[in-house]
Chain A
Amino acid sequence: GESVGLHLPTLSVQEGDNSIINCAYSNSASDYFIWYKQESGKGPQFIIDIRSNMDKRQGQRVTVLLNKTVKHLSLQIAATQPGDSAVYFCAENPLTGGFKTIFGAGTRLFVKA
């Protein structure tokens, strides 16, 4: 498969456990945040988003938490499955700088069966 990052932080979890992936964002002017999932050989896929006026948002098996005080974002995956194995990116859309999306470096999640 495609290698999207040879030096990425990695997280290894047992199937069925919960996963927490963290991200420190850079721009205090960012008001919209997104998590993407990139499976081997594919493009990044939108998972869940959150606006800066919220501190938590839940989807199906995923929850995003936002702490604006320390500029920290996390993605929680409940009951992690083998199909969750991928690289996960956070992204921020700042209000300044031409609205250019800033992507994090990514975290590789391995799910052990």
Chain B
Amino acid sequence: EAQVTQNPRYLITVTGKKLTVTCSQNMNHEYMSWYRQDPGLGLRQIYYSMNVEVTDKGDVPEGYKVSRKEKRNFPLILESPSPNQTSLYFCASRPRMGGDYGYTFGSGTRLTVV
């Protein structure tokens, strides 16, 4: 089944403790992206990657890092999480950056930073 897999689904952590949210897709998509979703603010892009070793900032990149060493994986790293990063996170992929393609989204990661 074509899908985007995120882990974990739920995570509670303490301020300053580094964490990684994993994302993997099995569709050979070039383009992958991380979004956060907050009440009243909708989906906001954190980082995106156009292909292996090519990443760029989205609209709200502060406090986050990403890497794209393999085509299928696009982990989101919070080096020093803070309470304002408490949010619902989605990884998404699509065949490429431009063109008539929608996203395939993961199931989401609910992160709480205390």
Contacts and interface: CB of A to CB of B under 8 A. Distances in A.
A74 B42 CA distance: 19
B81 interface: no
A46 B105 CA distance: 9
Given A44-B90, A46-B102, A2 B108 contact: yes
A7 B40 contact: yes
A49 B102 CA distance: 8
Contacts of A49: 100, 102
Interface residues of B, number: 24
How extensive is the interface on chain A, given as a class?
Answer: 20 to 34
Contacts of B42: 5, 89, 103-106
Interface string A41-56: 1111110010100000
A3 B102 CA distance: 23
Contacts of B90: 43-44
A5 B102 contact: no
B100 A2 contact: no
A103 B107 contact: no
Interface of B: 4, 37, 39-40, 42-43, 45, 58, 88, 90, 92, 97-108, 110
- 7 tightest CB-CB pairs across the interface, nearest first? A43-B105, A6-B39, A99-B98, A46-B102, A34-B102, A103-B43, A32-B100
